Structure 1
Amino acid sequence: MSQSVALPSSAADNLATAGHNAFGVQRVELERLGRVEYEPTWAYQEELLAAAVAIKTRNRQHETAGTPPELTPNRLLLCEHPPVYTLGKSGKPEHLLLNETGLAAHGATFHRINRGGDITFHGPGQLVGYPILDLENFKPDIHWYLRTLEEAVILTLADYGLSAGRIAGLTGVWFDYEAGAPNPRKICAMGVKCSRWVTMHGFALNINTDLSYFGHIVPCGITDKAVTSLAQELGHPVPMREVEDRFLPHLAELMGAEIVEKAS
């Protein structure tokens, strides 16, 4: 049976500031993939993106012919990965501090990928989210989209009594984010690709992550700031499903969406 994360009652008051358009509440299909290898998950994202872009291409023909357009689907994949380092298009290979022998010794793999951003780590205990969304169903603005993902994470952390925020010029979510704070540390990294306003890749929120893996890279190309996790900030492990179930209503409200879990 599918489960729905309904739009909270207060969302109607927030749609204008969230940038919601006249399409109404959008349906987003959620898939919880569990722990999956990186490469096939990347391929799955590419498949979903290509299918959405194909619909948008056909809709140009529908517009010319005066026939009704097809709806583009919105998807959200949630998962964990075995240890893996990924390097974005603008990243520097030297920000990976391990050679092939070192990667094997740490049970990790490495992939150059087509998102923005530099190098990051994915691994067990980290909540990875891959929204495959047609932003023209919401708001065709990549900056709005990134700030919305960040805000959903910030609100989720506030549910745990933690104050997180943004650092100017740096994508992601941080603790000690205020100017002049003594120990800025990143808890959530983000990197996306957008094609014809359809998104892929997404965010990685450290929950119970083994942070030692970040010691083998220059995370996101940033040399002077630390990385942290929810477990480290709270002093105890946190159930992954609990974090997911707190995050999803915030994202639904901010985007003006109904998140419906795909039937198994």
Structure 2
Amino acid sequence: MTATNIHPQAIVHPHAQLAEGVSVGPFSVIGPNVSIGAGTQIASHVVIEGHTSIGQNNRIFQYTSLGAQPQDKKYRDEPTKLIIGDNNTIREFVTFNTGTVTGIGETRLGNDNWIMAYVHLAHDCVVGNHTIFANNASLAGHVTIGDWVILGGYSLVHQFCILGDYSMTAFAAGVHKDVPPYVMAAGYRAEPKGLNTEGMRRRGMNPEQIARVQHVYKILYRQGLSYADAKAQILELAQSQDEVQVFADFFAESTRGVIR
């Protein structure tokens, strides 16, 4: 087993739980209610506080702040949580806050995510697996991000928005409504700009599967249908087409309306 390696100039509270193989660089601060899984590497000048749980084999770069209180005026020191999974890369100056009791009580990041510098996850956000957040992408509170989502640099996501699996935003997109699966969004008030077909190919979808998703896109955006009528047609297709089922799951969760 690899021993835990804590730099003598790091401050680690005696009640913090660090597994085998965790390394902590100089001038980093680890609070009493923090647990860190095996093999996670924490660089210098990192602050991890609050009720924060971090999984295995994460790489957390310098000047990151994890588990600070939510930026919510209603917060009254409740013991809400930040939960981070395994195999994530979290770059410089990233900030993740804990949840709130008026939300789900925790902020969550899944596994195998690539989080670039200056990204912010506000309270009660839920991020899936295999995502990429480019520099300065920021989520307001209560945002849900699916698997394999890509946020372009400086993308901003409004409170309570949902981005479906495989969706993608362009540079400086302002996401004010929900983004369906596979859809690319761009603009100050984000609008649909086609499908993330390259992402679908990379995930192993064949031409027939991609064609079925393209058909859904046409129903939603190209046939002049109302949202209700388009949704009804897509839900019918989802009963027999696995690729379309992800849209049914998305519609079931969507509350802010969909970008159109």
Q: Structure 2-normalised TM-score?
A: 0.25
Which of structures 1 and 2 has the bigger CA Rg? 2
